[in-house]
Structure 1
Amino acid sequence: MRTCYRYHVLSSGAALLVLCFGLCVWGDENTVTERRAAGSSLILPLGHPKESVSFAEWKYGAKIIAVYTQGQVHIDEPLFQFSGRLKVGSDDLSVEVTDLQLQDSGRYSIVADKSGVQLPTKTISLTVYGLCVWADENTVTECRAAGSSLILPLGHPEESVSFAQWRYEGKTFAVYRKGQVHITDELQFSGRLKVNSDDLSVEVTDLQLQDSGSYSITAHKSGVQLPTKIINLTVYAVLKTEIESSQTWVESKNSCEVHLLCKVREAEKVSYTWSGYKTDSGAGLHFTLSPAEGDVTLSCTAANSYSNDTKTMKVTCNPSKTPTVFSLLSSLMAVSPYLLVSIVLGVKCCRARAKPDEEKRAHAVIEDGAC
């Protein structure tokens, strides 16, 4: 595989390198993958001896662009994209696509017949690419955690630069002139841009997720543009894992049903894995734990493409039975014997006060009966 970069010229005149990939492999003899530079040509040969073919079609995708019949190849151009760019080969057994364009990428096929019997189909998978050069030190990809910083150095000796611009997504936020770097527009970086005059750099502090994107430093010397520095930045959230825990005592099992939930504060797509007493995947974890097992340790790890974080906690099964009168009295005695004695004396006092009233009511009943 060959890794290369395509030059695109921005409206600012800066050259932007775009990564492209090409993989050329041979399948069987009837299938081939080809790569061609934009502006070049592709020859599509019939691939069979003339005497062995009675009819043939050249196709781009499912659409016919040329046919072979009665010993001759004829261009059939139903596709506007090839207008004026299809030619019959000098051997009269091939079709040539000239001045290739990026949109000409795709699958080409040559289907041939002899006396109504189809011969093996020839297939060419074409990729048309722009001007490619090998990657160099002027383009880098950076990943930074949210809250960290990114330093954007000028990248050229001071004496070799007369003017320079720092840009984010094509918008200028700092310039260099007369030996000094100046912030011109803070954009979304309000209060977070710092200039270092010693090494002629601009620092973006307290990075936010929205700061992801393309940064470029374009420099000039006496009106001549120097190589542009490009930094493609991805800012990712630092994960902070939390575990929520709850449990229910099940009397019949003499054990606890434990429910754990692992989550992160950030709105991120993450995966969760559990380790320790139990191993599992997913945010939720449910299991049964008895008091006899004591403390058990579990860890949850949340992870995404850029970051991971692990939270550990201990879980103990705590029986929760319905209290009885006896257990309540025992608890009161343990907490304060004086309180329990006071309650007993109070009950006796209330009963003593109630007794004379009961005797008076009894005498009243007897007297009423005598009348």
Structure 2
Amino acid sequence: VGVPLFINKTVGDSVELLAGLERGHFISLQWKYRGKDIVEVNSEVVYSPGSQFEGRLKMNNKNFSLTVRELPLQDSGDFLVIGEGDKGQIGGRTITLKVNQPISKVVIQTDIMLLANHSCMVRLVCNVSCYSNLTYTWERDNEMYGDAQQIHLSLSPAERVIIVTCNASNLVSWKSAFVTVKCSNDKTAPGMAWYTNYIRVSVGGAVVLILTVGVAVCYCRGRSNPD
């Protein structure tokens, strides 16, 4: 068996799996997926009925490559091609296919806590529509700031509004969103947490600006009157 190959594809794509075998006198040839036959070539091409690939496979009779159409996530796995000749097994190749979900949306969650000294502690979380093989980068006013899913900032009321961008990517796609943040002690008091999200989303070439504002009280004071 030859050196394994690795292919990354997106959900809905097609992929051509190359056999890497020289054309010669084959008694038979099989394509296997996770150890089970999915295509066999003798005098004709026979696709295994009832497999998850039913109706989505196409064998090339000239170079024995196998095309798989309309890939779902479940098609990820190892494909093996083996040829059988007069003198036994001929060549062979393992191809590892990884089908990835593209990123469709990025949303930044912003939590701001006003501290007793009237400065602000800001927590930003980059929430993405898919969850595997993600890489994050953050920019603060166009300068690189961090590479985790969430970051923390310390701001004072004297600082101007800052723009923070989250860039999220995986093996097949990339998207970003930004939020504007300012520390203001006019909007809340120590002991209260508030957040403001400005999310920029591209929709059909247009830009939509979404504003979400929320307030959560962290503590309460009670008062009782004597009888």
Instruction: Specify the alignment match of 1:126 in structure 2.
Output: none
Contact 1:214 1:230 in 2 (8 A): no
Note the C-alpha offset of 1:189: 2.2
User: 1:246 — aligned with what?
Assistant: 110
Aligned to 1:283: 149
Residue 93 of structure 2 is aligned to residue 230 of structure 1: yes
- 1:169, 1:214 within 8 Å by CA — same for their partners in 2? yes
CA distance in 2 between counterparts of 1:259 and 1:196 reads: 54
- Residues 1:298 and 2:161 are matched in the alignment: no
* AA of the residue aligned to 2:56: R
> Normalized per residue, which structure has more strand?
2
Are residues 284 and 264 of structure 1, via their aligned partners in 2, closer, same or farther at CA, if it must alter by over 3 Å? same
- TM-score w.r.t. the length of structure 1 is 0.39
CA distance in 2, matches of 1:247, 1:159: 66
Can you list the C-alpha shifts for 1:204-240, whole angstroms capped at 9, x where unaligned? 233344433332222234x433423222304153462
Partner of 2:151, secondary structure, is: strand
* 2:225 corresponding residue in structure 1: none
Task: Select the structure with the greater relative contact order (CA < 8 A; seq sep ≥ 6).
Answer: 2
Runs of 5+ consecutive residues of structure 2 not aligned to the other structure: 189-227
Structure 1 residue runs without a partner (length 5+)? 1-16, 18-137, 323-371
Task: Supply the RMSD in Å over aligned alpha carbons.
Answer: 3.9
* Fraction of identical pairs, as percent: 22
Query: Which residue of structure 2 aligns with residue 193 of structure 1?
Result: 57
Aligned pair in 2 of structure 1 residues 289, 302: CA closer, same or farther (>3 Å)? farther
Match of 1:202 in 2: 66
- Bigger-Rg structure (1/2): 1
CA distance in 2 between partners of 1:153 and 1:181 (Å): 16
1:167 maps to what in 2?
Answer: 32
Question: 1:311 aligns to what?
Answer: 176
SS of 1:161's equivalent? coil
Which letter does structure 2 place at the counterpart of 1:262?
C
CA distance 1:161–1:289, shift in 2 (3 Å)? farther
Q: Deviations over 1:152-175 (max 9, x none)?
A: 345445553342111112211112
Structure 2: distance between partners of 1:286 and 1:161: 63
Q: In structure 2, which of residues 15, 21, 30 is the aligned counterpart of residue 150 of structure 1?
A: 15
CA distance in 1, matches of 2:113, 2:33: 58
Residue identity in the other structure for 2:95: N
In 1, distance between residues paired with 2:61 and 2:157? 66
Secondary structure of residue in 1 paired with 2:93: strand
Please tell me whether the aligned partners of residues 136 and 169 of structure 2 are also in contact (alpha carbons under 8 angstroms). Answer: yes
Decide which structure has greater helix share. Answer: 1
- In the comparison of the two structures, how many residue pairs are matched? 182
CA offsets 1:218-264 (integer angstroms, 9 cap, x no match): 2234x4334232223041534626232336596x9888764421133
